[in-house]
Amino acid sequence: MGKKIKAKDFYALGYPKSKVVSVALGSIHRHHKKRAKEDILQEAKAVLAHPLHFVEDPVWSKTAVLLHSAAPSIRKPISKGMADYRIYGESGIEMLAKHQLYQALKLPIAVQGALLPDAHSGYGLPIGGVLATDNAVIPYGVGLDIGCSMALSILDIEASYMSGKEDRFKTLLREHSKFGPKETHDKKMDAAVLEDPLFGELPLLRSLHQKAYRQLGSSGSGNHFVEFGVVELLENQPKIGLPKGKYIGLLTHSGSRSLGANIAMHYTRQAQKQQHLPKVFRHLAWLDMDSELGISYWKSMQLAGDYAAACHDNIHYRMAQQLGAKVMFAVQNKHNFAWKEQLNGQEYIVHRKGATPAAAGELGIIPGSMSSPAYIVSGKGATGSLSSASHGAGRRYSRSKARTMISRSEMRKEIKTKGIHLLGGA
């Protein structure tokens, strides 16, 4: 680097006398040792003028975020009132989940909300919460597992084929499904989403690309699952394109793995640096949709959703291939995502965190517990729920509390009575 850059050089450009200057100096001394002083200061001037243009820049990102967060906000403060909302099955929902919805409804960006019958508390929005916002997206309103979803494939194999062949299906599940942060398939496969140019454009995504490749076709831990079962269509279904009857189905619950979690945490931290909200609202920090950060998160969220869908596709392809089967019908629905939707003639951002999209006529899947059926559903487009339905992974008790109330022997007896073979989670 030519002449040494000092703090006074930044002050001369109009930089505030604050931490931002020391951060900027540290960045340029690490990354710009050989560049001319004049060129660096010219770039620093551009960062000051348009910080949002540099929030993903490997050199200037920290400086840009500090500059933007110091700018005066044009948003209204937290409201004492609440946006309109509706709670379904209120008597069975814990108070903390309701309180989390009430907090979200006080945000100046909130337009309308809903809480669904399987709701329980989480970070930011409660799980089972729906929130429409004006020109803003809340990363923790989508959730850590971006694109977490259900997927069902109906195979061209008669349901009677399963009888007496339980061992074959158990072997398929053991060998071709992987769970948790460390299990991955020995035989890797590609997916079109992994070639998305965004992986090369955003530094965060670039750093996550190889891990996304390794985890393709795997599922998270917790309540994620892969299962074979019998799909019973009680009547002819034009939307499904199959006559009534019984079919073998493959049902999966999976998401975007490490990719989605890192996107959620990264952009939540950036949003928190911008908003400076009271502590109780910090997990509800939002990004404006017309800001560089908001646009970057939205693109990254879409990518994570596509990756989650690719994980499902990969699992279903592996299983169908091993069975020599064809998929006659397939449906997926995300329940951790945000969409641009019309409400009263205006476009808003609708967050569904643990909630199934249920626009009029839209097909989806709502799973039950380990011992109860899942259902293929068709949405009614109810305005009170913002066209949303339960996602089926709700709970009355936390996992730790449930362990104190239901013994392993009781659980195993229950699922055995229902003819269920449990290979994990026990």
- pLDDT for res 363: 96
Mean pLDDT across 162-184: 89
Q: In sequence order, which residues have a C-beta less than 8 Å from that of residue 392 and are 6 or more positions away?
A: 118, 150, 356, 365, 366, 367, 368, 374
- pLDDT for res 34: 72
Q: Is the pLDDT of residue 393 over 70?
A: no
**Token pair for 219:** 């599922």
Length of the chain as a residue count: 426
Q: Give the mean pLDDT of the chain.
A: 90
Q: Is the pLDDT of residue 67 over 50?
A: yes
Pick from 118, 49, 64: which is nearest to 87 by CA? 118
DSSP 253-264: EE--HHHHHHHH
Which is more confidently placed, 353 or 74? 353
Cα–Cα distance for residue pair 139/204, rounded to 1 Å: 15
- pLDDT for res 1: 43
Residue 154, by phi and psi: left (phi above 0), alpha (psi -120 to 50) or beta? beta
Cα–Cα distance for residue pair 160/269, rounded to 1 Å: 52
Q: Where are the domains of the chain?
A: 7-70, 149-395, 397-426
The pLDDT confidence band at residue 70, using thresholds 50, 70 and 90, is low
Q: What are the strands, taking DSSP E only, across 234-374?
A: 245-254, 287-288, 327-334, 336-343, 346-353, 355-357, 363-366
Is the CB of residue 3 less than 8 Å from the CB of residue 37? yes
Q: Which residues pair with 249 in a beta bridge?
A: 154, 229
Task: Please name the CATH architecture into which domain 149-395 falls.
Answer: Alpha-Beta Complex (3.90)
Pick from 86, 138, 143: which is nearest to 386 by CA? 86
- pLDDT for res 279: 87
Query: At 68, phi and psi to the nearest 5?
Result: -70, -40
Mean pLDDT across 187-216: 94
- pLDDT for res 347: 96
Q: Does the pTM of the predicted model rise above 0.85?
A: no
- pLDDT for res 397: 67
Pick from 73, 80, 120, 9: which is nearest to 274 by CA? 73
Task: Give pLDDT tens digits for 104-151.
Answer: 999 999 999 999 998 998 888 999 999 999 999 999 999 999 999 999
- pLDDT for res 69: 64
Cα–Cα distance for residue pair 6/8, rounded to 1 Å: 5
Longest CA pairwise span in the chain (Å): 81
Compute how many other C-beta atoms are within 10 angstroms of the C-beta atom of residue 366.
20
Task: Give pLDDT tens digits for 32-43.
Answer: 767 888 889 999
Coil, helix or strand for 12?
helix
**Token pair for 395:** 């709970």
Residue position matching structure tokens 């945490």: 265
The pLDDT confidence band at residue 92, using thresholds 50, 70 and 90, is confident
State the DSSP H helix or E strand holding residue 23, giving kind and residue range, or none if neither: helix 19-31
Q: Tell me the range of 57-61, 120-124, 209-213, 367-371 where mean pLDDT is highest.
A: 209-213
Pick from 221, 209, 229, 202: which is nearest to 148 by CA? 221
Own/partner pairs for 9-17, CB < 8 Å, 24+ apart? 9/37, 9/41, 10/44, 13/41, 13/44, 13/45, 13/48, 14/48, 15/44, 15/48, 16/70
Is the CB of residue 130 less than 8 Å from the CB of residue 355? yes
